[in-house]
A = this chain, B = another copy of it.
Amino acid sequence: MLWPQSDGRHSPISAAVLTGAEVDQTAGLLTLRERQPFDLFATAPTLALLGANPMFGVLARDVVRRQAVEFGESFTVAGVEVELFRVSGKVPLYREGAGDLADDTAGVEVRRDGVRLVFIPGIAAMNDDIRERLARADAVMIDGTLFTDDEMIRAGTGEKTGRRMGHMPLDGEDGTLEALAGLSNRRVLIHINNTNPILVDGSPERVRVEQAGWEVAEDGQEIVL
């Protein structure tokens, strides 16, 4: 994903692909604003949500090319084939109550030379299509926000269940571990909330996800496929 280095300022980022318009998916764009060209791929509703915030005008439209893509449409980013697909989620927190926008939560499948990576930072419920897509992948990175659905309520850090926030829990009958028990590919949990006990090395919950074949993502982790 290298952009040709210029004489002046330089960014190695040639494209960004958004899986939604929530703050943690978009605020980082504001640090890429110094008239460095890149392509910004997202669904039209996600781009519309960004466009409704004048501040994102700092990504000048003559420099940062908005590219609206459809779910299921493949596009190429720096030689890699990319496809967004719909997952069950929720509208961004700051649009709750606005009532005018469809849930547009996405996962990403990345393909090159027959190798597949599937990345889903937020998912509220599993279904057969997504389970099959995950099973086909060489590696899976998926929403590990909470271990139990009411974890933040019990920790006193929030009033919402995980599902209410668009995140299915890892544990429980309809949790991610159970839903994906049949997978045997490389599986990495991402987007982990600081209340989640799997962050504690050696905790019973950490041991449990590791014994089920899952990794817990680390800062700076590199995955070679």
Contacts and interface: CB of A to CB of B under 8 A. Distances in A.
B155 A94 contact: no
A55 B30 CA distance: 12
Contacts of A53: 53-55
A220 interface: no
B56 A94 contact: yes
User: How many chain copies?
Assistant: 2
Contact of A94 (B52, B57, B156, B158): B57
Nearest to A159: B35
A23 B94 contact: no
Contact of A8 (B54, B56, B93, B156): B156
Interface size class of A (residues with CB under 8 A): 20 to 34
24 contacts: A6-B156, A7-B156, A8-B156, A8-B157, A9-B157, A23-B30, A23-B33, A23-B55, A23-B58, A26-B55, A27-B30, A27-B31, A27-B55, A34-B157, A53-B53, A53-B54, A53-B55, A54-B94, A54-B95, A55-B55, A56-B94, A57-B93, A58-B93, A58-B94
The 10 A-B residue pairs with the shortest CB-CB distance, nearest first, are A8-B156, A57-B94, A8-B157, A53-B53, A27-B30, A9-B157, A53-B55, A58-B94, A54-B94, A55-B94
Interface of A: 6-9, 23, 26-27, 30-31, 33-35, 49, 52-58, 92-95, 98, 155-158
